């Protein structure tokens, strides 16, 4: 089996050798899915996984825009349309200086499996730009978003490709992008999700990824007779996913000890309660400030510059910032300090070495493609509401989100149980996600 996996990866590396994040994501899937393919005749000899690692379409384009001083800037825009076997391409847009084809291909590839797991009819895609919204005025962000959509609009549509937010793309950016799409196409459609409430957005969409991550972690904990009540929780990031993961964990009775951003983390020994979390939301979403300011305001907190929070003793860890933010040494520290559950709110935040440590330690570990699928699932619900021209209540959407997260959890357990009873959620998520897409691809023939 090892030889088969190696031969497959050699072929992937030959074609994508300069894309380390993409190769990392494919390797993880190959290790779990190739043994499954070998045992299931219908997938044999069809090169199905090789077809899945090649994007159906990769679009790259120039985005020229003018800043407040009249200077002209050029950024690169992308849309990776990875797989449309089970529905229109669906996946976020990321605006961050680190964005490149490798990062977006890894995100698009993971998205295919994630969207399949939600049971909703959505293919996988991802896009974005190396534009950095940090330090830009609202007008500059608007001009960039408009310039970006001037090109992107021709590649997307409610039945073709429906982008959403991701790092650096929140409610403000979605508004500007939607406005320009509507202007160019002269149609009001559900072409982007994460829209504002009064113009087609869904209740619970802003909360969905963070809430869903905690719902998933709660399901995992319950398999071992535990829950969030009274547990110490360490969270990284302080953006959309981190904020709402913290809020839901608080609702379930946990104590939140940390939050972070790209400059460091804060540790509040008294815990981050609802009032302090409201301060963080205002700081990050309205004032666009830094998490270090939290420690200036609350004396119970210390700011650790340039560090990640994984050495803080906790019961549950929720990495909610970015890819590869938790390495093997961090994972060792978490396991040694008694952490029993890690659920990824971010995409691929744990390195392969970290995942190995979690599995060795036999602790509960959920990969992002399963545990953070609540965001895209609720985007799917937003698309349904847009098509039906109706709006479901907060309770209704939240209940659907909960049900979807429980179903994803059950699918992971179905395919992920090892012989000794330990649930390998990575294996479970990869196989469950693969089966639905592969079956659709087989039915549609070689295209
Ligand atoms: P935001 O832009 O709202 O927040 C991102 C957070 O991560 C910020 O606190 C940011 O800090 C921090 N961060 C970004 N880059 C780094 C880095 N290199 N090192 C340390 N911290 C960093 O993004 P989201 O909360 O939306 O996304 C977070 C993660 O969740 C991403 O992996 C995203 O792909 C994933 N995700 C998001 C979904 C969504 O619905 N939004 C859905 C599913 C997954 P700073 O402000 O300093 O940059």
What CATH number is given to the structural domain containing 235? 3.40.50.720
Burial code of 171-209, b = ≥16 C-beta within 10 A, e = fewer? Answer: bbbbbbbbebbbeeeeeebbbbbbbeeeebbbbbbbbbb
Whether residue 130 sits in one domain with residue 239: no
Average pLDDT over residues 26-51: 96
Q: 164 with 90: CB under 8 angstroms?
A: yes
How, if at all, do strands 301-305 and 264-268 pair?
antiparallel
- Residues 161 and 123: their CA atoms lie apart, in Å, by 8
Whether residue 319 sits in one domain with residue 271: yes
With respect to residue 75, please indicate whether it lies within any of the assigned structural domains.
Answer: yes
How long a stretch of residues is the chain?
447
Identify the CA nearest to 55 among candidates 116, 11, 111, 14: 111
Whether residue 166 sits in one domain with residue 114: yes
Mutational pocket test of ligand 1: of 205, 322, 327, 376, the residue with most ligand atoms within 8 Å of the beta carbon: 322
Residue pLDDT, tens place only, 367-386: 999 999 999 999 999 999 99
Whether residue 212 sits in one domain with residue 352: yes
Confidence at residue 132, expressed as pLDDT on a 0 to 100 scale: 97
Provide the pLDDT confidence category of residue 68 given band limits of 50, 70 and 90: very high
Domain that holds residue 285: 208-371
What's the mean per-residue pLDDT of the chain?
Answer: 97
With respect to residue 199, please indicate whether it lies within any of the assigned structural domains.
Answer: no
CA of 164 to the centre of ligand 1 (A): 14
- Which atom of ligand 1 has the smallest separation from the CA of 107? 34
The CATH number of whichever domain residue 160 belongs to comes to: 3.40.50.10860
Q: Which tokens belong to 232?
A: 């110490």
CA of 133 to the centre of ligand 1 (A): 13
With respect to residue 242, please indicate whether it lies within any of the assigned structural domains.
Answer: yes
Question: Which of 305, 339, 371 lies at the terminal end of a domain, its last residue?
Answer: 371
- Residues 102 and 109: their CA atoms lie apart, in Å, by 11
Q: Total domain count for the chain?
A: 3
Mutational pocket test of ligand 1: of 114, 205, 237, 373, the residue with most ligand atoms within 8 Å of the beta carbon: 237
DSSP, collapsed to helix, strand or coil, labels residue 173 as helix
With respect to residue 440, please indicate whether it lies within any of the assigned structural domains.
Answer: no
Q: 114 with 369: CB under 8 angstroms?
A: yes
Say if residue 17's pLDDT is above 90: no
- Which atom of ligand 1 has the smallest separation from the CA of 347? 32
Whether residue 112 sits in one domain with residue 145: yes
Residue pLDDT, tens place only, 144-168: 999 999 999 999 999 999 999 999 9
Whether residue 43 sits in one domain with residue 66: no
Average pLDDT over residues 107-132: 97
Whether residue 42 sits in one domain with residue 62: no
Q: 326 with 287: CB under 8 angstroms?
A: no
Residues in CB range of 295: below 8 A, 6 or more apart: 266, 301, 302, 303
- Which atom of ligand 1 has the smallest separation from the CA of 168? 2
- Which atom of ligand 1 has the smallest separation from the CA of 372? 43
Residues of the chain with pLDDT > 90, as a percent, come to 99
With respect to residue 34, please indicate whether it lies within any of the assigned structural domains.
Answer: yes
CA of 304 to the centre of ligand 1 (A): 19
Closest residue to atom 48 of ligand 1, CA basis: 262
Provide the pLDDT confidence category of residue 286 given band limits of 50, 70 and 90: very high
Closest residue to atom 10 of ligand 1, CA basis: 261
N-term to C-term CA, the chain: 28
Confidence at residue 83, expressed as pLDDT on a 0 to 100 scale: 98
How many Å separate Cα 225 from the centre of its chain? 27
CA of 345 to the centre of ligand 1 (A): 9
Whether residue 224 sits in one domain with residue 347: yes
Whether residue 258 sits in one domain with residue 138: no
Provide the pLDDT confidence category of residue 130 given band limits of 50, 70 and 90: very high
Confidence at residue 238, expressed as pLDDT on a 0 to 100 scale: 98
Average pLDDT over residues 31-41: 96
Confidence at residue 75, expressed as pLDDT on a 0 to 100 scale: 98
Identify the CA nearest to 226 among candidates 142, 377, 339, 130: 339
Question: Which of 341, 371, 401 lies at the terminal end of a domain, its last residue?
Answer: 371
With respect to residue 302, please indicate whether it lies within any of the assigned structural domains.
Answer: yes
Residue 114 belongs to what H/E stretch? helix 101-117
Confidence at residue 23, expressed as pLDDT on a 0 to 100 scale: 98
- Residues 357 and 175: their CA atoms lie apart, in Å, by 42
Identify the CA nearest to 131 among candidates 160, 188, 169, 102: 169
Question: Which of 53, 70, 89 lies at the terminal end of a domain, its last residue?
Answer: 53
Residue 207 to residues 66, 246, 265, 324, 397, Cα–Cα distance (Å): 33, 10, 22, 23, 11
Whether residue 320 sits in one domain with residue 176: no
Closest residue to atom 5 of ligand 1, CA basis: 239
Q: 279 with 266: CB under 8 angstroms?
A: no
CA of 374 to the centre of ligand 1 (A): 15
Residue 227 to residues 230, 272, 334, Cα–Cα distance (Å): 8, 19, 18
Residue pLDDT, tens place only, 311-351: 999 999 999 999 999 999 999 999 999 999 999 999 999 99
Q: Please identify every residue annotated as catalytic.
A: 126
Whether residue 59 sits in one domain with residue 46: no
With respect to residue 275, please indicate whether it lies within any of the assigned structural domains.
Answer: yes
With respect to residue 137, please indicate whether it lies within any of the assigned structural domains.
Answer: yes
Residues of the chain with pLDDT > 70, as a percent, come to 100
Whether residue 265 sits in one domain with residue 328: yes
Ligand 1 pocket by C-beta < 6 Å: which residues? 165-168, 170, 209, 237-242, 261-263, 320-322, 325, 345-347, 372, 375
Say if residue 239's pLDDT is above 90: yes
């Amino acid at each position: 089996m090892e030889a088969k996996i190696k031969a497959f990866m050699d072929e992937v590396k030959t074609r994508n050798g300069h894309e380390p994040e993409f190769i990392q994501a494919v390797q993880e899937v190959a290790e779990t899915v190739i043994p499954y393919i070998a045992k299931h005749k219908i997938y044999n000899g069809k090169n199905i996984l090789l077809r899945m690692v090649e994007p159906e379409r990769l679009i790259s384009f120039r985005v020229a825009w003018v800043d407040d001083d009249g200077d002209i800037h050029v950024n690169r825009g992308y849309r990776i349309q990875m797989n449309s076997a089970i529905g229109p391409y669906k996946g976020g847009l990321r605006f961050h200086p680190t964005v490149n084809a490798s990062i977006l291909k890894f995100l698009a590839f993971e998205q295919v499996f994630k969207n399949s797991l939600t049971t909703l009819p959505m293919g996988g895609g991802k896009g974005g730009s190396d534009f950095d919204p940090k330090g830009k005025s609202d007008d500059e962000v608007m001009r960039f978003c408009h310039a970006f959509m001037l090109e992107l609009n021709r590649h997307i549509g409610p039945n073709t490709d429906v982008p959403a937010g991701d790092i650096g793309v929140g409610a403000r950016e979605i508004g500007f992008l939607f406005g320009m799409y509507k202007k160019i196409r002269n149609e009001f459609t559900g072409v982007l999700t994460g829209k504002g409430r009064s113009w087609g957005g869904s209740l619970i969409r802003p909360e969905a990824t963070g809430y869903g991550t905690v719902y998933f972690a709660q399901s995992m904990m319950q398999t071992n007779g535990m829950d969030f009540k009274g547990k110490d929780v360490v969270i990284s990031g302080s953006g959309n996913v981190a904020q709402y993961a913290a809020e839901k964990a608080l609702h379930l009775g946990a104590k939140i000890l940390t939050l972070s951003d790209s400059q460091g983390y804060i540790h509040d020994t008294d815990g981050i309660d609802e009032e302090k979390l409201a301060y963080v939301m205002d700081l990050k979403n309205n004032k666009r400030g830094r998490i270090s300011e939290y420690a200036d305001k609350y004396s119970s907190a210390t700011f650790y510059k340039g560090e990640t929070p994984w050495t803080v003793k906790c019961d549950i860890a929720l990495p909610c910032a970015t890819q590869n933010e938790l390495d093997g040494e961090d994972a060792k520290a978490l396991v040694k300090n008694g952490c029993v559950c890690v659920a990824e709110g971010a995409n691929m935040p744990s390195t392969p070495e970290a995942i190995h440590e979690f599995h060795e330690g036999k602790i509960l570990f959920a990969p992002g493609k399963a545990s953070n699928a609540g965001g895209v699932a609720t985007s799917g619900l937003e698309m349904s509401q847009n098509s039906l021209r109706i709006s479901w209540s907060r309770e209704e959407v939240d209940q659907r989100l909960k049900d979807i997260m429980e179903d994803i959890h059950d699918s992971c357990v179905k395919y992920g149980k090892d012989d000794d009873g330990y649930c390998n959620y990575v294996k479970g998520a990869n196989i469950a996600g693969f089966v639905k897409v592969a079956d659709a691809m087989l039915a549609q023939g070689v295209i």
